[in-house]
Amino acid sequence: MDNKNKEVIDAIEAPIYLKYNFTAGLAPARFLSQLKQGVLTGQRCPKCDNVYVPPRGSCPACGVATEEEVVLGDKATVQSFTIVSIPIPGNPIQPPYIVANLVPDGANISFIHLMSECVNEEVRIGQRVTAIWKPKEEWDFAMDNIRYFKPLDEPDVPAELIGHLSVNGTEN
Amino acid sequence: MVKDSLLQKEYELGFTYTRSTGPVVGKFLTGLKNRQIFGNRATDGRVIVPPMEYDPETFQPLNDFVQVSDAGVIESWCWVSKPRSSHPSAVPFAWAMIKLDGADISMIHHIVTNEQNRVVTGARVKALWIDQPVGFISDIRCFVLEED
Ligand SMILES: [Zn+2]
């Protein structure tokens, strides 16, 4: 917007910029360091056995610290998803694309990531997917080391079992 | 568990809002673009600068715009000796409530001077305009002390 050529001012640019210095705590720092090595990890609650990814260092249900690290595989299950059709300023991804809540095998909660190499209209809850990683030399302390998840040719997981698979993809 | 060294990252979150001014604030900003300062007359006759959209007592819409001077009197002030990055001046300055000639309500702006001891309540100041006003409060670069 440019008010220079306007005779009557009816709008102004009023941006707000918030500068942060984010410090990852112990659990996220450990998680990100493992990601840099190409490994997806969670942490298990010593009380209820739930595995959290990304780990925050404690179990919100039990209120206890989680310290046991669990190495997760690349395979995951779609817990929910949305098809994004509206471009977001600053986001280089062109719509339509899929954002999904994915539960990695061996974990009990989902994280959000992208799906690609899929037919958007055929994405469904319970669908099996696998991580597509960037080339190793591009790995950083970042979740987008995984470029996206793509569908696997495996039977869907029944809704009641989503979030309850062992790390090798079998029913717990 | 291995204790990795702490990871830190700076980042900036930006909300790039464009805000509608409405007709009253729009009138004020349009005035600034022409190096004019407009207030408007409240129901009790006082001239309010910057103009208000509604009367503070009767809540009636206010439309009676009045042009006031770009010079006036310091009503109160606060000296800032170490400006921060978000401040309007990089050099020491004074925030000030300035009652412009023709106005009954003082307006906040800032005064730049290297004569800090002359910044006193009652001192006269005048607007220093930028070269090419765009219709924003910073069209007034700052206020400066009038010569004695
Ligand atoms: Zn627990």
Question: What tens-digit pLDDT sequence spans chain A (172 residues)?
Answer: 567 778 899 999 999 999 999 899 889 999 999 999 999 999 999 999 999 999 999 999 999 999 999 999 999 999 999 999 998 877 888 899 999 999 999 999 999 999 999 999 999 999 999 999 999 999 999 999 999 999 999 999 999 999 999 988 888 6
Q: Would you state the pLDDT for residue A2?
A: 67
Distance from chain centroid for Cα B6: 43
Diameter of chain A by CA atoms? 70
Question: Rounded distance, CA A154 to CA A156, Å?
Answer: 6
Which stretches of chain B score pLDDT less than 50? 1-4
Residue B57 lies in a domain: yes
What ipTM is given for this predicted complex? 0.79
Q: How far is the CA of A161 from the centre of ligand 1 (A)?
A: 19
Residue B103, domain extent: 20-145
Question: Rounded distance, CA B43 to CA B80, Å?
Answer: 36
Give the total number of structural domains in chain B: 1
3-state secondary structure of A89: coil
> Are B134 and A3 an interchain contact pair (Cβ–Cβ within 8 Å)?
yes
Residue B119 lies in a domain: yes
Residue B8 lies in a domain: no
- Give the length of chain B: 148
Residue B89 lies in a domain: yes
Residue B105 lies in a domain: yes
Q: Would you state the pLDDT for residue B138?
A: 95
Q: Mutate one of A1, A8, A12 to test the B interface: name it (highest B CB count within 10 A).
A: A12
> Are A16 and B17 an interchain contact pair (Cβ–Cβ within 8 Å)?
yes
Phi–psi pair at B68, nearest 5 degrees: -115, 175
pLDDT tens for each residue of B36-55: 999 999 999 999 999 999 99
Residue B34, C-beta contacts closer than 8 angstroms, at least 6 positions apart: B133
Residue B42 lies in a domain: yes
Residue B96 lies in a domain: yes
> Are A13 and B17 an interchain contact pair (Cβ–Cβ within 8 Å)?
yes
Q: Would you state the pLDDT for residue B1?
A: 42
3-state secondary structure of A20: strand
Q: Long-range pairs for B88-95 at CB < 8 Å and ≥24 separation?
A: B88/B138, B88/B142, B89/B142, B92/B116, B93/B142, B94/B119
